[in-house]
Structure 1
């Protein structure tokens, strides 16, 4: 198997892990197994009567929910497979002197940190700052793997497309804004604030008088037995939700402007195609966000919203790579 093929497979696995993570979180199965890396002290989900009784003795007061436990464990199994794929990539790059070495090393360190965040997500009982960091770690891993893939498969743009290269600073600003918006989305989800506002375009009632920025965005929210279902009061959750909506408007405006300028100024079909993909993904993502509000966060649409964010990020990473790379 070539390194390029291996990277393609790993990129798909990473996206699957992100989807499973979102599905697990949205199904409130993040604590489906109260320990790590096993489940109720066992290597797999307890299903037999004796195993369930043993689990309840180890964790008194907790009822074994096999559906949620399996969701959590399947997520861990696939994430573990992803870790092995990343290790394989690192070994291949280390043996091949012509392959990049620093980037695979950074990816290997990141996957280890992701595993630690996965453990802390459980042991710290879904503390929002840890949950958000785990989400951002997954998106970062996806981005770095794409960069490594692009570096092993030279991108050829006839003539270098100098007019489009002038848009590189704007593309970098757009990428930073998108990352900030993804972080806001993670903070909204980890604080269970997705349904804090159910009206459009921003929020119902006199929302502007109830904003509590300090409480809403404090990274540490005190000591709690569990952060499941959130610990913030309504004004704080509403503030988070409104911030995410305002961030969506800003992000959409900047990325649409970038796409328009890229379409007008780029001479290569590769970059023009990227501009079209960016616009289409933005439209779909905005529609998914609105659908989440109108339909009260249906599971399929909510998971798709996470996937849309990942695809937008990949598109912006590619555009930045194409514009900033050496001609």
Structure 2
């Protein structure tokens, strides 16, 4: 089991790196640095494909292909492939130790399925030329991988569980759902290049309800920068995407703020509440700074990293509170079953 636990921790750290580096690749416009898959111009590395890469860059100096962008894209693929092999090893060990406490072979197998599908999404991201729906799904797949690994780590190390009522456990689940919905909106904003559709804050174009085209903003099956009918996506549609992300932040952020404060008041959950509130404050600050400073690359990548850490934190909280709620119910049932004392 020691090797199993160590591999899970390595995979967890590597997944966080892959998610953050993937955001860096996307935000630095290197997503098509190698226009084929899984290699680069049919080669194992950009070093072996330098000639066609340089030719493509010479033909279009402002295009998506250049040697630095190709290296960014391929490094991300190398990291993702290494993660896939690591997860297969984790699943094999989970089944090998399936009779031991802390092993979760079914969840580990589900993780393998998620990673295989994530690899297909990575392929389609390139071959379908950065379709927003595919790129957003790829981001969510990375967070699903991170969440499952976080759950496996908690299970493998048998972390102490917190007794809590059903209300708090239900609030933790709702908080995770709201957070994932907000992350999806953030991914949709990023993959549609709508992060700077509103350049003022807290208003947008000087209004708290700006003119927006929500109908075209959320067509899922379409090309990048185009409507479903093949016309250019308007500024009003980009505004709708951006403003929806801000409204989502208001709803999810407000709920997580209240939930974090509730954790602070719960004995034994204060540290979880403090971590959640700290990450939430940092994420809000990064979001505002990205708008006011015109999306500097380090802050934009940090905003993606903050989202990943928030998701991982809510998985941690849900793991503890869900089990705690069950323990509390069992304890109450035992008390009810005891005969009353005279």
What's the TM-score, normalizing by structure 1? 0.90
Match runs of 1:1-327 below 5 Å:
2-46=3-47, 51-53=50-52, 56=55, 64-98=65-99, 99-157=103-161, 160-163=162-165, 165-205=166-206, 208=209, 210-221=211-222, 232-264=233-265, 266-268=266-268, 271-325=269-323, 326-327=326-327
SS in 1 for 2:209: helix
Runs of 5+ in structure 1 lacking a partner? none
In 1, distance between residues paired with 2:43 and 2:292?
A: 41
The answer on whether the counterparts of 1:161 and 1:267 sit within 8 Å (CA) in structure 2 is no
Q: Aligned Cα RMSD in Å?
A: 2.3
The answer on whether the counterparts of 1:40 and 1:46 sit within 8 Å (CA) in structure 2 is no
Count the aligned residue pairs: 314
The answer on whether the counterparts of 1:188 and 1:194 sit within 8 Å (CA) in structure 2 is yes
The structural deviation recorded for 1:19 is 1.0
Task: Return closer, same or farther for 1:53/1:277 CA change in 2, 3 Å cut-off.
Answer: closer
CA offsets per residue over residues 84-119 of structure 1, 9 Å max, x none?
Answer: 110110111121122211101100000000000000
In 2, distance between residues paired with 1:73 and 1:187?
A: 24
CA offsets per residue over residues 20-42 of structure 1, 9 Å max, x none?
Answer: 10000000000000000011121
What's the TM-score, normalizing by structure 2? 0.86
The answer on whether the counterparts of 1:34 and 1:123 sit within 8 Å (CA) in structure 2 is yes
The answer on whether the counterparts of 2:196 and 2:295 sit within 8 Å (CA) in structure 1 is yes
CA offsets per residue over residues 153-177 of structure 1, 9 Å max, x none?
Answer: 21224xx5335x5301111111100
Greater CA drift, 91-100 or 81-90: 91-100
Give the greater-gyration-radius structure (CA): 2
In 2, distance between residues paired with 1:73 and 1:312?
A: 27
The answer on whether the counterparts of 2:94 and 2:108 sit within 8 Å (CA) in structure 1 is yes
Runs of 5+ in structure 2 lacking a partner? 328-342
Task: Return closer, same or farther for 1:61/1:256 CA change in 2, 3 Å cut-off.
Answer: same
The answer on whether the counterparts of 1:191 and 1:231 sit within 8 Å (CA) in structure 2 is no
The structural deviation recorded for 1:62 is 6.0
